[in-house]
Structure 1
Amino acid sequence: QAGLEPWIPFYISALEDSSGVFGNVSTEGCDIEVTPNLYLEEAYTDTVWAMILGADLKPAGTYKYSDLGFYLWRKLFALQGIELDTWFEHEVSEPFGWSTMGYKPLSRGIAPKDIAPTENDEVFRQNVVRGTVHDPGAAMQGGVGGHAGLFSNAYDLAELGEVWLRGGTMRQVELVQENVLEAWTNRGFPQGDNRRGLVFDKPALESDSGPTCDLSSWESFGHTGFTGTMLWIDPVYDLVYVFLSNRTFPDASNNKLLQLNTRTEIQRVVLEHLGAVSRFGNRNE
């Protein structure tokens, strides 16, 4: 509701830059790896930030999804002299033993054959995207973004969901304070039509839309990813639901996952087995 643009196609501006900001090999000053055979000039990251800062603001108060705010996470870390991917490895994945979870999996020794391809990108990267982040904006940051870039298998992701389910702590390791997690997962504007929390998505306020089936409780929260992923935590039913797919392969126009409601229909089967009832049948609002 801050009025931020939903997203900015930075890669289009870069492709149209007549000075040529890309190279096929890593050289001094042009060493931001977009894919293993495409590199971006380091100076262009300043252009990206300038585009974010210079973007027109829409009228405040109107609900519109935007990922631009999460671009700032990496910038805030950088101002403290901390690399976001290094911090994540040392403070999150290593303490919990999540060996598959992290940024830039290829550089961490994970084989391409163990990673699902996400798109045959014929516009920007001119290649099959596999093992590098799908999101073009995060790719232009070397694969490390506050809004995109993390990889994981289902098991490690389920354990992360278990941490959220337990209030931010598991195996005597605290990932986040419980009151902070509550701020992340409670609706930020409960009097309006914005269902979302500060960080996580929430169930739809109407029965004919939203990221979950109607059996998910009002207290549940999670995230549905553009490439076809889903992590949803429901404390009422003590449930962590993980769904991983590569919807965007071979191209992002593939909408079968949404048309068939695959993620939410599988979620419904699980919740029915747990005896869940529709949240709209017990609505107190």
Structure 2
Amino acid sequence: MLKLQHTLFTLFFFANVFVNAQDYYSLRNNIDSIVYDAINAKAFPGCVVYASKGDSVFFLKSYGFHTYDSSRRVAVNDIYDLASVTKVVGGTLAMMKLYEDGHYNLDDPIGNYIDKIGRRVGEVTFREALAHQGGLYPWIPYHLESRKKNGEFRSKTVSNSLDKDYNFPLTDSLYLHNDFYSKVKKMIRKSEVKKEKQYRYSGLFFYLIPELVESLTDTSYQDYLQIHFYDPLGTETLTFNPLDKFEMEQIVPTEIDTFFRMTPIHGKVHDEGAIMMRGISGNAGLFSNASDLGKVFQMLTNDGLNDTLQLLSPQTIQLFTTAQYPNNENRRGLGFDKPLLRYDSLTSSVAKDVSFRSFGHTGYTGTLAWADPENDLVFIFLSNRVYPTRLQRALYELNVRPTIHQLLYDYFKVNLNENEDPVVKAK
């Protein structure tokens, strides 16, 4: 079945895009070699690689297995935990739409819009928070708040029994209190905020975005994203809490948790903060297959246009994907990651040849989504590098993602003339 899928995809590709077939197969073989070497090095048990040029997907292939026991092969439509890629296809998309509709100004303090967040956190502006320039604390292990020093659960946190107050299953034997979010806000309010305005990557503001969306629009964060982006784009798998819609077998597992949930994480968000938000946050929590994630980034490279629908204005996209504080050694846009200010092959997650207009984000589970509007190129890499443990760092050590990404740029350098339309549709 998988061979048939790949054959059909190859026929579709060559029917719609004019390329040099020999060079294309060389590209595919080179990517195959990198991925299989990484799998053999236990960088991840399997992955999906996706790339589009213009409106055409020219590379989509699955590799390996869901886990190292080789019991289930990865398919191109399998669903992965996106981790912090959620920040840009969840939290940031919502903030872009809210901004465009005039609900807030970027230089307003977030405390003007979010109650009970405290003076220090509240003085940080939206621009600073989204660009990681506000001095907010990097992260808080919210799950640790659930236990006392003796190991027992605190009241109104987690219980071993399901009831009306503890109604969200973290696992088959752990249930979250229905008002744990108030504790999340309290921990954010009490967290350290640096006085110096300098780059400090933080996910704390992104936990507040669902509340912000609901307070400004009277629409839940999840529904807001669905209405304004996911439904118009025709995505089917881009969702929070995927077990509500999909079978376990289509979802790729992440870590075998040995410190909090004490069980294999499969079908529930890997991020401990997001699971304490009932699986729905602006920081992490989204799941998707590669094609649906690609639709979001193709829309962004197409100046917000999806077919005849203008989902975002080109001006909003340009603003949010532009570095806000480059003079302060901060490469970040608003929510979006950007290329390093000075390229370093050892620390870059993307190709050396990406343009400075390019943008995207990485995810802790081993994911990457990156768009380059200058070259009309979208690259998606989905893996579960945290299986069976987050201590496995071969994905980074082998430079898997930037190496594959660079192969795509090298391929188009050879196959495109400067005055040639990069994607020529068959007549």
Q: TM-score, normalised by structure 1?
A: 0.91
Partner amino acid, structure 2, of 1:232: W
The CA deviation at 1:134 is: 1.0
SS of 2:138 mapped into structure 1: coil
SS of 1:257 mapped into structure 2: helix
- Counterpart of 1:195 (choices 289, 308, 331) is 331
Deviations 1:213-233 (A, max 9, x none): 211111111011111000000
How many angstroms apart in 2 are the aligned matches of 1:26 and 1:188?
46
Q: Which residue of 2 is the match for residue 281 of structure 1?
A: none
- Counterpart of 1:239 (choices 377, 380, 387) is 377
Is residue 102 from structure 1 mapped to residue 102 from structure 2 by the alignment?
Answer: no
Distance 1:167 1:26, change over 3 A: farther
- Counterpart of 2:305 (choices 166, 169, 173) is 169
Q: Which residue of 1 is the match for residue 195 of structure 2?
A: 59
User: Structure 1: any 5+ residue segments left out of the alignment?
Assistant: 277-285
How many angstroms apart in 2 are the aligned matches of 1:174 and 1:31?
39
Q: Which residue of 2 is the match for residue 19 of structure 1?
A: 154
Partner amino acid, structure 2, of 1:173: L
How many angstroms apart in 2 are the aligned matches of 1:239 and 1:172?
21
The CA deviation at 1:65 is: 0.5
- The alignment-based identity, stated in percent, is 35
The CA deviation at 1:159 is: 1.1
Partner amino acid, structure 2, of 1:183: L
The CA deviation at 1:63 is: 0.8
Q: Which residue of 2 is the match for residue 126 of structure 1?
A: 262
SS of 2:169 mapped into structure 1: strand
Q: Which moved more, 1:22-31 or 1:6-15?
A: 22-31
How many angstroms apart in 2 are the aligned matches of 1:96 and 1:181?
16
Is residue 221 from structure 1 mapped to residue 359 from structure 2 by the alignment?
Answer: yes
Name the larger-Rg structure: 2
Is residue 267 from structure 1 mapped to residue 405 from structure 2 by the alignment?
Answer: yes
The CA deviation at 1:36 is: 4.8
Is residue 185 from structure 1 mapped to residue 317 from structure 2 by the alignment?
Answer: no
Q: Which moved more, 1:37-46 or 1:251-260?
A: 37-46
Larger proportion of helix: 2
Count residues with an aligned counterpart. 275
User: Structure 2: any 5+ residue segments left out of the alignment?
Assistant: 1-132, 415-427
SS of 1:186 mapped into structure 2: coil
How many angstroms apart in 1 are the aligned matches of 2:255 and 2:204?
22
How many angstroms apart in 2 are the aligned matches of 1:33 and 1:146?
20
Partner amino acid, structure 1, of 2:250: D
Q: Which residue of 2 is the match for residue 137 of structure 1?
A: 273
How many angstroms apart in 2 are the aligned matches of 1:275 and 1:35?
49
Distance 1:171 1:25, change over 3 A: farther
- Counterpart of 2:169 (choices 30, 33, 50) is 33
Partner amino acid, structure 1, of 2:352: D
Deviations 1:224-264 (A, max 9, x none): 11110000001121100000000111111110100001011
How many angstroms apart in 2 are the aligned matches of 1:42 and 1:95?
32
Distance 1:36 1:238, change over 3 A: farther
Partner amino acid, structure 1, of 2:256: N
- Counterpart of 2:343 (choices 191, 207, 217) is 207
Q: Which residue of 2 is the match for residue 3 of structure 1?
A: 135
Partner amino acid, structure 2, of 1:217: S
Distance 1:165 1:59, change over 3 A: same
How many angstroms apart in 1 are the aligned matches of 2:153 and 2:176?
14
Partner amino acid, structure 1, of 2:321: T
How many angstroms apart in 1 are the aligned matches of 2:264 and 2:382?
19
Distance 1:241 1:93, change over 3 A: same
How many angstroms apart in 2 are the aligned matches of 1:89 and 1:24?
33
SS of 2:288 mapped into structure 1: coil
SS of 1:244 mapped into structure 2: strand
SS of 1:128 mapped into structure 2: coil
SS of 1:31 mapped into structure 2: strand
The CA deviation at 1:83 is: 1.8
Q: Which residue of 2 is the match for residue 114 of structure 1?
A: 250
Partner amino acid, structure 1, of 2:232: P
The CA deviation at 1:126 is: 1.1
Aligned-CA RMSD value: 1.6
